[in-house]
Amino acid sequence: MSIERELNKRSGAKCELCGATENLKVYEVLPTKKGGIDEAIMACNTCISQIENPGTEDLNHWRCLNDSMWSEHLPVQVISWRMLSRLRSAGWPQELIDQMYLDEDTLAWAQATGEGEDDENKIIHRDSNGVILEHGDSVVLIKDLKVKGSSMVAKQGTAVRNIRLDHENAEYIEGKVDGQTIVIITQYVKKI
């Protein structure tokens, strides 16, 4: 059974965050270890767009987390915690966070993207021009890079799409080049 079909069954063909029934997609909750239904949710375009674009959140839309934070499914809990943490300055989200219980591993997963950290403690990834990089951005290599542990050379001008950020080191991102996931140093990339 496909992940989409399994998530549709689990969610009752609704967004697991807000309950919307249209424009649903599988949303992978990063960072993933094995992938699959235990690391993904069924979410609507509205929720996904606001999750992936900090600063565009409609505070009233996220009042739905009052219900979804109690989901028995860990990826739903993780996204609920992350969004409540992002919006906590509004007051009511902090009250909901105080009510949530996440076991140690689930909390570590929720915190892995840096949500919930104070801005001064947050790791910020910047490209060679100082532009802030976000998860899912596309970058281009500005010089040829030898890939450690292989004979591969990632050529200058290669576009790397849908990057992932290393949440422990501001100088590292991950991306696929020629079908192989590699770690790239941010000083050698430029955001597209």
pLDDT over threshold 60, residue 120? no
Residue 121 has pLDDT above 90, yes or no: no
Domain coordinates in residue numbering, the chain: 3-118, 123-191
Question: Any alpha helices (H) in 53-139, and if so which ranges?
Answer: 65-68, 74-86, 92-99, 104-111
The per-residue b/e assignment along 91-120, b for 16 or more CB within 10 angstroms, e otherwise, is eebeebbeebebeeebbebbbebbbbeeee
Looking at the whole model, is its pTM more than 0.85? no
Beta bridge partners, 133, equal 125
| Alpha carbons 165 and 183: distance in angstroms, whole number | 10
- The answer to whether 50 and 56 have CB atoms below 8 angstroms apart is yes
Mean pLDDT of the chain: 91
Q: Give mean pLDDT, residues 121-138.
A: 84
Q: Is the pLDDT of residue 113 over 90?
A: no
Copy the structure tokens of residue 102. Answer: 């996440």
Look at residue 165 in the predicted model and tell me its pLDDT.
Answer: 85
pLDDT of residue 132: 85
The whole-angstrom separation of Cα 133 and Cα 156 is 19
The pLDDT assigned to 116 comes to 67
Averaged pLDDT for residues 101-123: 80
CATH number listed for the domain at residues 123-191: 2.30.30.40
User: What percent of the chain has pLDDT above 70?
Assistant: 96
- The token duo for 83 is 């969004």
Rounded Cα gap, residues 49 and 42, in angstroms:
13
Q: Name the pLDDT band for 167 (thresholds 50, 70, 90).
A: confident
User: β-pairing, 164-165 with 172-177?
Assistant: antiparallel
Given a cut of 90, is residue 10 above it in pLDDT? Answer: yes
The conformational region for residue 13 under phi > 0 = left, psi -120 to 50 = alpha, else beta, is left
Q: How many C-beta neighbours within 10 Å does residue 9 have?
A: 12
pLDDT digits (tens, 9 = 90+) for 53-69: 888 999 999 999 999 99
What average pLDDT score do residues 153-179 get?
Answer: 89
